[in-house]
Every structure is written in structure tokens, then in C-alpha cells.
Amino acid sequence: MLTPLQARQWDLQKAAHLLNRAGFGGTPDEIKAFCELGMDRAVQTVLDGPDDSLQFPKPAWAEAKNLFEMHQTMALMPDADRKAMQQQIQKQYRQNDLDLINWWLGRMRYSANPFREKMTLFWHGHFATSVQKVRESYLMWLQNETLREHAFGNFGLMVKAISRDPAMLIWLDTRESKRDHPNENFAREVMELFTLGIGNYTEDDVQQAARAFTGYRIDPRDETFRFAPFQHDGTDKHFLGKTGPFGGDDIIDIILEQPACAKFISKKLWEFYAYQDPSPAVVNTLASSFRQSDYEIRPLMSTIFRSAAFYSADAVRTQIKSPVQWVVQTAKVLDTPLPRPQITVNALRQLGQVPFAPPNVKGWDGGKAWITTSTLLYRYNMANFSVGNGPLRIEPVRRVANVQGPMGNGFDVQNYNGPDLAKVVPQVVRGDPRRLVAYLCFRLYQDPLTARDTQTFVKYVSDQGPNLSDDALRELLHLMMSTPQYQLT
């Protein structure tokens, strides 16, 4: 059972927790405003956020191409011209990758509806697709829009949309799948990773499902989904105990009837938003309401965000920030813009999470896997850069998703101003070491430190003398971010 949190238990820390987990955190003022809404309206704000698409128009290059015409034109070109044009396209793709990542990070950072972006990030990790194989940034943008559209919608509709998504058709080879040679890649992953989890189907089910997904193609004239009946196997399939001339949508409908599906998705959502390894009771409660609502995501998220367990000690401040969460939340709490795209994207690469380039179809492992001695020190040094303290070493690569190493030794990037200190630290607390540290604890961790750790920082401030310099204040911010505690949210 999941008992709801009582309205009177709602407080600043819980408001901060909801902002952090459902979105990317906020400034002390934003947390206070969110708290004043009360739990009901705060959760409502999360679930029914405004449409921000006018605020974030699609990138200028994000248009479908007529690949058919393009290939015809190129086939007629002299070799040298064709090579030059191919190089030009590759160069454009590289630029578009950066642009696309930056477009999305900016949307996470500034959207009036960050909750939809966080949910989209969850679905991106779930239906993990990489530009490394898809190649074309436009198709990655298109998939991102599909995930956003269905983010709080119906899970069944989302899986069906994803099964026709051009980037997915490339990523898991569905477009190559022929009636006489069905490709099992998508059929396997749709069950193993997207809906049921391993152990809830047989190898035979994979082969039968693969036949149902034959004939899914991309129309080269406008890069949209096209069904090719001549390549579709319309004969009977025996799938999860049922028999019929199933198509892809029928397969998805049968999958959705399996109790394992609701459990698999509910558990993954709970682990992303609340905490690892929920009890079977929690999973079963969520899964049964998810199935009863016919896989509507919004009511499921409402149950999660209103539950006492979501605000329990198991959940609050126990999650290791993902690199994306770290970068966006840092910009939010320091009230700064994101650093230049090349810097941010290269830092994300060092930290192990480049959006649109997950390591494989399983997505990012997350949790403790984010942290090694190397990535932890890089987080600390990224903090040094973010507060305006000094340079950051980046190691550019030709394409963000490249498996090959960086080009050369990398170089230091400088000239980042960091936060406006007057905005980040009110004058009234700056002169009082104890109040300053308490204030920054709330701004950075939304939570006090232990007495010992507090004392460590208070002493540092006191030792600086009566007038804390800007440099010393920046170093204090950096020190407070160079801690295990800042990696948690």
C-alpha cells in the first residue's frame, strides 16, 4: 500500500525534494514559492505544466529531407563533388549534434515545464537510442518530440509510436526486417528492455514477434514511417499463448495484457524518481493501478508524487545525480546560464552521459555507476569552473557519440564568469558565517549538513576575516560542491 503524504507534513524540504526529482531543482525562492502552493497544487503543477513549445522552437535544421532525391542527385555527381558533399553533410551533422544537445539542455534549464523534460529524459534512457548509429540529428530530434508528446500520456500508445519511430527503425534494424528474413533485434528489445523484462517471454516469442514487425519501413521521400505490405508476414503467429495473423500493434497489445509489463514499468519509474529496490508491496500497488488505468502515466506519477514513501528517508537526498541532472541543477541553483555547448557537452562526455548518445540500447546504468574516482574528481573540477574559479580541461572528439578517443590532449577553457554573487548570496547573510553556511546548505543541498561539517565551513569563513572577498566566497561555493553531499539529490 502507498499511503498519501498528509497535507500538514508538506514543508520546504519536501517541496525541494519534489522539485529536484520531478524536475531539475530550483533556487531558494522557487522552492519557497513551490512550498506555498501546498502539496496538491504543487503536484498538479508538475503534472499539468504549461506547453512551452513556443518558448523552444525547433532547431532550424530539424526538417525532413527527401533522401530519395538527394541520393539521385548525388549519384549523378562527379566523384569529387559527391565526396565534397558527403563531407559537408558529415560536418553539418556534427554541428547539429551539438546544437540538438544544447537545445534540449536549454529546455531543461529554462522551461516553465521542466517536469515534462525530466520525464522525457526518463523515456530517452528507457527507449535508449543513439545518434551514433542513427547518424541523422533530425531523426533524433523527432524521436525526442515523440517521447515528449507521450511523456505523461498513455504507455501503450507510446510503445506503438516508438515502434514506428524512424530513429528506432534504424537503431534496432526494423527497417531491414523482411518477410523471409525477419530481424529479431527490435522484437527482442521491445520485450526485454521496453515492456516486460527478461524472463517473461521465450526465444520462440521473440521469433514470432519478429515476424509481426516485418514490413516497417522509412519512406525516403520524407523520412516518415511507411508500412510495406509486400514485406510483411501476414501469416499466423503464436505469441505468448495466443494465435493469429498478428501485426506489430497486436503484439504490443498482447504484451500490455501481461501483468509483468505494468510491474516492470512501475518499478523502473519508482527507481528513477524515488529510490532503488522498492518492496514488492510498493511495486504491486503501483502496477495494479497502472493496469487498471489502462497504462495512463499521469495518474501513476500522481500516486508516486503524493505518496508518503516518496518523501521518506529512503528517498530524500539518497539519489546520485546523473551528469545531466548535475549540470542542469547546478546552473539552476547557481542561477547561471549553461556554459558554452562545446564545454557542457564535453564535460557530460567525461562524466559519462551524453544525451542522444547512450552507450547501448539498455541506456545508462545510472546510480553508483555514474561515479568513479575519475568522474568524481571531474565533477569537483567542473564545480570549480562553474563557480568561476578557473579553467576546465576538455577533450573534444569529432562526433559526440564516437567510440574512438579524443583528438590530442585536450585544452583548457577559461573565461567563464560563474554566478552573480550578489544574486546568489544575499548581503544580509554574507557577513555572518553561520547564517551564510546555513543559507548555502539550503541553496546547494536543500538540507543542513552535520554539525561537524557545518563547523568546518563556518571556520573556513570565519578565518577569512570580517569582509568575505568574492574570491573566498566563490571558493566556499566550490568547496561545498566538492563533497559527496553535493552529488546527491
Partner 1 sequence: MSDHDDDHIIEPHTSTLHTRREFLRTSMLGAAVSLSVPVFLQKTFFTLDAMAADSAVQTATGKDSPILIVLQLAGGNDGMNTVIPYADDAYYRARPVIGIPRESVIKLNDYAGLNPKLVGLKGLYDEGHLSILQGVGYPNPNRSHFRSTEIWQTASDSDKTDSYGWLGRYFDSCCKGADPTVGVAIGNQTPQSFAAAEPTGVAFSRPEQYRWLNGDKSGASQQIYMEMNAPDPTDMRALDENDGGSIGSLAGTSTPSRHGESNLEFLQRTALDAQMSSDKVLSIARKYPASVSYPRTALGDSMNLVGRMIAGGLATRVYYVSQGGYDTHTNQVATHARLMDELNTALVAFAQDMKAQGNFNRVMLMSFSEFGRRVSQNASNGTDHGAAAPMFVMGGGIKPGLFGKYPSLDNLNSGDLAYNVDFRSVYATILDRWLRAPSKEVLGRQFPLMNLV
| Residues of the shown chain interacting with partner 1 in the complex, contacts defined by CB under 8 A | 11, 13, 275-277, 313-314, 316-320, 350-352, 360-362, 367-368, 371-378, 380-381, 384, 387, 389-390, 393, 403-406, 409-410, 441, 445, 447-453, 456-457, 460, 463, 471-472, 474-475, 478-479, 482-485, 487-488
Shortest gap between Cβ of 316 and partner 1 (angstroms)?
A: 5
Identify which of residues 146 and 336 has a Cβ nearer to partner 1 in the complex.
Answer: 336
Does residue 243 sit in helix, strand or coil? strand
**Residue closer to partner 1 (CB basis): 111 or 446:** 446
Least distance to partner 1, CB of residue 442, Å: 10
Measured in whole angstroms, the distance separating CA 233 from the mean position of its chain's CA atoms is: 36
Q: Considering beta carbons, is residue 135 or 164 the nearer one to partner 1?
A: 135
C-alpha cell at 215: 514490413
Is the Cβ of residue 6 or residue 235 nearer to partner 1 in the bound state?
A: 6
Strands (E), 268-341: none
Q: Residue 269 in contact with residue 298, Cβ under 8 Å?
A: no
- Extract long-range pairs of 222-225: CB within 8 Å, 24+ residues apart: 222/64, 222/66, 223/64, 223/65, 223/67, 223/136, 223/138, 223/139, 223/142, 223/166, 224/64, 224/166, 225/164, 225/165, 225/166, 225/169
Q: Decide whether 235 or 417 has the Cβ nearer to partner 1.
A: 417
What CA dihedral angle connects 93, 99, 102 and 104, to 10 degrees?
Answer: -80
For partner 1, the closer of residues 161 and 461 by Cβ is: 461
Q: By the 8 A CB rule, do 336 and 108 touch?
A: no
Long-range (24+ apart) CB contacts under 8 A made by 86-91 are none
Distance CA 440, CA 465 (A): 19
Maximum separation of any 2 CA atoms in the chain, in Å: 83
- The percent helix, strand, coil of the chain (3-state, each to 5) is 60, 5, 35
Could you tell me the smallest distance in angstroms from the CB atom of residue 149 to partner 1? 28
**Residue number with CB closer to partner 1 (246 or 364):** 364
CB of 4 to partner 1, least distance (A): 19
CB of 419 to partner 1, least distance (A): 14
> Cβ 352 to partner 1, closest distance in Å?
6
Beta carbon of residue 457, minimum distance to partner 1 (angstroms, whole number): 7
Q: Which of 232, 231, 229, 255 is nearest to 242 (CA)?
A: 255
CB of 321 to partner 1, least distance (A): 10
Q: Shortest distance, CB of residue 138 to partner 1, whole angstroms?
A: 22
Nearest residue (CB) to partner 1, 96 versus 130: 130
Read off the C-alpha cell for 475.
571558493
Query: What angle (nearest 5°) sits at the alpha carbon of residue 356, between those of residues 147 and 98?
Result: 120
* Contact yes or no for 195/262 (Cβ under 8 A): no
| CB nearer to partner 1: pick between 11 and 257 | 11
User: Quick count: other Cβ atoms within 10 Å of Cβ 434?
Assistant: 14
